[in-house]
Amino acid sequence: MSDSQAGIGWDEARAVNLANWEARVPLHVAAYGLDAMRDDPSHLSQVVRTDLAALAPFLADGVAGLDVCHLQCHIGTDTLSLARAGARVTGVDFSPSALAAAADLADALGLAATWVHTDVLDARAAVEGDFDLVYTSIGTITWLADLDRWAAQAYSLLRPGALFYIRDGHPALYALDETAEGLVTGYRYFPNGEPIEWVEESTYVGDGVVSSPRTLEYPHSLTEIITALLAAGLVIDAFDEGDTLPWRFSPVMEELPDGDFAYPAPLRERIPTTFTVVARRPA
């Protein structure tokens, strides 16, 4: 269920969304497949495997030996996958319960990580040091009202010449009615500063009920995203659009052998499901 909401300020939206993400933590700890990481020291999340492949043309040795800041890291599965790939990692999130779960997982895996509790829009003030890679991936910027401020945080965390990376759900996908059998537009594509309200008792993984089901999410067009990154001073090295997702956006999507999801043919070739940007802070 969704509905556009006028007159809701950022403080209210943040509080509503924080309650929702706090409620998701125990469900995600149970459903994220953490046993795979515990049982197999070489296991990386599917999200990170995809992202490392996208970064490979720009990082000759992958993330090995790099200082990486993961914005909106949630319970740390992707952050710690980057650590397993050789990075020195710092995870940033606004949910204290998520960071506690991330720290527990890091201890269980014997991996070093720094966890910083702060809003991503205040990351530069809270995070110590500069980074070779600022990383954000999947399900992130729809929770943010101000992309100019977000992009400025990312820029300021980077060393000169360092990389910024984002892969996220495509704005065109988020405009679709996820309950329709075909590709039917159901929601606003263009941003107007107002969030869209959702009330969903389920989350995107697992079978539990979310005790705080209301969320407020902000549509962001590709134009707004790219313009924010450029205005912050970043130089875009690569842009791509993909046709798979690490969660089932629509019931008609099919699960792929690697655990991702995609629309069946012929729908798959008609709509992008993700976008990816690799950008750089000038040296």
What local confidence, expressed as pLDDT, does residue 31 receive? 75
The SS3 assignment for 71 reads: strand
β-strand partners of 169 = 274
Q: What is the CATH number of domain 2-280?
A: 3.40.50.150
Asked if residues 110 and 38 have their Cβ atoms less than 8 Å apart, the reply is: no
Q: Residue 153: is it exposed, middle or buried by C-beta count within 10 angstroms (0-12/13-18/19+)?
A: buried
Per-residue pLDDT in tens (0 to 9) along the chain, 283 residues: 456 666 899 999 999 999 999 998 988 888 777 888 999 999 999 999 999 999 999 999 999 999 999 999 999 999 999 999 999 999 999 999 999 999 999 999 999 999 999 999 999 999 999 999 999 999 999 999 999 999 999 999 999 999 999 999 999 999 999 999 899 999 999 999 999 999 988 777 767 887 888 999 999 999 999 999 999 999 999 999 999 999 999 999 999 999 999 999 999 999 999 999 999 999 9
In angstroms, the Cα distances linking 23 to 8, 104, 202, 259, 271 are: 22, 17, 11, 25, 32
What the block records as the tokens of 219 is: 């549509």
What local confidence, expressed as pLDDT, does residue 6 receive? 64
What local confidence, expressed as pLDDT, does residue 1 receive? 46
pTM of the model: 0.95
